[in-house]
């Protein structure tokens, strides 16, 4: 029997080493003070930032989770933990289901490759098979609206064209668990309408959504669970009734 998608974190902490910093300098002392002691000295050339501390969270199928907090609260680090980009320094995380991550979408693109080649490269990175990508490519190309530009190197694209291509690729495969850093908004007015509708469909089809955002209106309109973080710690979890 297939288990329903779920996420469970128990006492998860995440320490990030930063090399070549000035942790013994006056500036380092001030930084440590300003972050409430979240920056610790590991050696004269390494600073350790405690990005997350003692995270306990249960996310079940059907949940739409909004992560909220100030800049540096740990929202993106928690998303990266859920996506498998980071592993916890301590504690345990269990993720049941396939995760699709909308975090730092641009860097995965090869600017020297054509649009069509990037569709193949990104598909392989997402774990799709060659035949699956080939089957999806016509629909991705059509949705992007790039036409003949798909046969040209991505470095010739405008920033708007690049976002069209990236968005069309990452939203082409249904997700069990969808992890997003801010609600995507891409392209010109005409494409924005199509993109919004497609993103809503993807979210509706996902078993779980985890969205980090500064926009309270977006979070409250989409999410039934609101998680607030301060300095890498969860200070409240609000689950709406129903």
Is 150 within the bounds of a domain?
yes
Residue 174 lies in a domain: yes
| Model pLDDT for residues 103-112, shown as the tens digit of each residue | 766 656 889 9
Residue 28's pLDDT band (cuts 50, 70, 90): low
* Listed range (84-98, 158-172, 209-223, 226-240) with the worst mean pLDDT: 158-172
Domain span at 139 = 106-206
Q: State percent of the chain over pLDDT 90.
A: 52
Residue 1: what pLDDT? 62
202 lies in the same domain as 126: yes
By 3-state DSSP, what share of the chain in percent is helix, strand and coil, each rounded to 5? 40, 30, 30
Measured CA to CA, the distance from residue 26 to residue 133 in angstroms comes to: 53
Q: What is the pLDDT of residues 58-89, one digit of tens each?
A: 999 999 999 999 998 999 999 999 989 899 99
Position 182 scores a pLDDT of: 84
**Is the same domain home to 110 and 200?**
yes
Same domain, 117 and 167: yes
- Identify the CATH number of the domain in which residue 42 sits: 3.40.50.300
Q: Are residues 25 and 75 in the same domain?
A: yes
**Residues 180 and 226 placed together within one structural domain of the fold:** no
User: 146 and 120 in one domain?
Assistant: yes
pLDDT at 19 over 80: no
Same domain, 116 and 198: yes
pLDDT given at position 136: 93
CA distances from 92 to 56, 88, 212, 233, 236 (A): 9, 7, 21, 16, 20
- The residue among 135 and 160 whose pLDDT is bigger is 135
* Contact criterion met (CB below 8 Å) for 186 and 213: no
Q: pLDDT value at position 106?
A: 61
User: Does 111 lie in the same domain as 82?
Assistant: no
47 is a domain residue: yes
Q: Which two tokens stand for residue 159?
A: 């920033």
Task: Indicate whether 187 belongs to any domain.
Answer: yes
Q: What is the pTM of this model?
A: 0.80
What percentage of the chain carries pLDDT values higher than 70? 85
Q: Domain tally for the chain?
A: 2
């Amino acid at each position: 029997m297939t288990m329903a998608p779920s996420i469970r974190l128990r006492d998860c902490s995440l320490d990030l080493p930063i090399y070549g910093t000035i942790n013994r300098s006056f500036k380092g002392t001030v930084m440590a003070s300003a972050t409430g002691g979240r920056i610790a000295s590991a050696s004269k050339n390494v600073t350790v930032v405690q990005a997350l501390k003692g995270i306990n969270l249960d996310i079940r199928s059907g949940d739409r989770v909004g992560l909220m907090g100030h800049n540096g609260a740990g929202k993106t680090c928690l998303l990266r933990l859920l996506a498998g980009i980071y592993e916890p320094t301590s504690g345990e995380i269990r993720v049941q289901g396939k995760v699709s991550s909308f975090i730092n979408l641009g860097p995965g693109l090869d600017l020297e490759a054509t649009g069509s080649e990037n569709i193949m490269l990104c598909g392989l990175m997402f774990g799709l098979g060659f035949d699956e990508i080939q089957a999806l490519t016509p629909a991705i190309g059509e949705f992007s609206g790039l036409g003949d530009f798909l046969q040209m190197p991505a470095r010739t694209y405008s920033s708007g064209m690049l976002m069209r291509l990236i968005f069309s690729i990452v939203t082409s495969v249904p997700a069990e668990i969808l992890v997003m850093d801010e609600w995507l908004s891409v392209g010109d007015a005409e494409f924005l309408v199509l993109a919004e509708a497609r993103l809503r469909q993807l979210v509706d089809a996902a078993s779980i959504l985890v969205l980090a955002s500064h926009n309270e209106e977006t979070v409250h309109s989409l999410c039934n669970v609101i998680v607030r973080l301060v300095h890498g710690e969860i200070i409240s979890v609000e689950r709406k009734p129903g």
